[in-house]
Amino acid sequence: MTDLMTRPNPNDHDENSPGDHPDAGDNLNGPDDDSVTPPPPPPPPYGESSNPGRWPRRIAGGAAVLVLIGGGGVAGGAIADHFAGNQASPMSASSAGGSVVESNDLAAVVDKVQPSIVTVMVDGAQSSVLGSGVILNANGLILTNNHVIASGGTVSVRLSDGRTIPAKVVSADTQRDLALVQATGVSGLTPATFGNDDSVAVGDSVLAFGAPLGLANTVTSGIISAQNRSVNTGSEKLTGLLQTDAAINEGNSGGALVDLSGHVVGINVAIATASQTDQGSIGLGFAIPSNTVVNVVKQLQSRAR
């Protein structure tokens, strides 16, 4: 298996475009234990009942208003979230530069990115889990959160055009909460382009893509609210995260946080919630930065060879 994540061409950007970066989670220090919890799975797309008690991961509340919530494998970048066939360019970190579009041109960004986003479904013997994923290559290598697939079961992915494709787990990193899934028998898919999160600044506009509550092809908008956040998942601590106020809910886990050039700058992983019973977005979402993602995917691909 080769390095297949699509990155912007360094020759297209400024001369200071960086090369590979160390895993951001190893050298970025966030505030002390902003604890949070992975959310219960959204209702499965076909009306099946889910059992949140089967979810293995929790992200604890990082403030007085935050509480542990059942969940652990659903998608969508919420702390409550409870929380590359054809080869693309090598996975070297490069500048996410490029023309920045105006806010009234967000539809063009959505049109560019949406074909690269999928819904990830895991059907187990007693429960079903639903999350989101990002296409890494034309032959169906897909990135998602580990907690989306951790419960085990039959995996499938639903493409943006509505097709549902059988898939299998290729490799996973439990500490970084990332996993690779391979869709079977597909070609000609649209890989996402990953940007360099070093170019991201607080206040930058971003879009969050995924399937909150099972509603595929959903896009929300917001800004980067903060950087270098840390959240406690219970067994592991995720560090160096991007914080955003773009609405992220159950089912968004593993989906993309995208800048206005259409480059993925983060993978949604968790959200904060107001209470155990009210687990919707309160404008505190978290994403694994793209540089961390790129390095972890390289490692996962190496393991799978």
Question: What is the per-residue pLDDT for 160?
Answer: 95
Bigger pLDDT: 285 or 57? 285
Catalytic residues: 147, 177, 253
- What is the 3-state secondary structure of 1-52? CCCCCECCCHHHCCCCCCCCCCCHHHHCCCCCCCCCCCCCCCCCCCCCCCCH
Question: What rounded mean pLDDT belongs to the chain?
Answer: 74
pLDDT cut 90: percent of the chain above it: 51
Rounded to an integer, the average pLDDT of 126-132 is: 89
**Residue showing tokens 């002390």:** 32
φ, ψ dihedrals at 203, nearest 5°: 105, -15
Full-model pTM: 0.70
Question: Candidates 2.40.10.120, 3.20.20.70, 3.40.50.720, 2.30.30.100; correct CATH number of 30-83+109-304?
Answer: 2.40.10.120
Which of 78, 95, 87, 113 is closest to 231 using CA atoms?
78
pLDDT at 281: 80
**CA angle at 138 for the pair 105 and 253, rounded to the nearest 5°:** 65
State which H helix or E strand residue 299 sits in. Answer: helix 290-304
Mean of pLDDT values over 168-182:
95
Report the range of poorest mean pLDDT among 100-104, 125-129, 194-198: 100-104
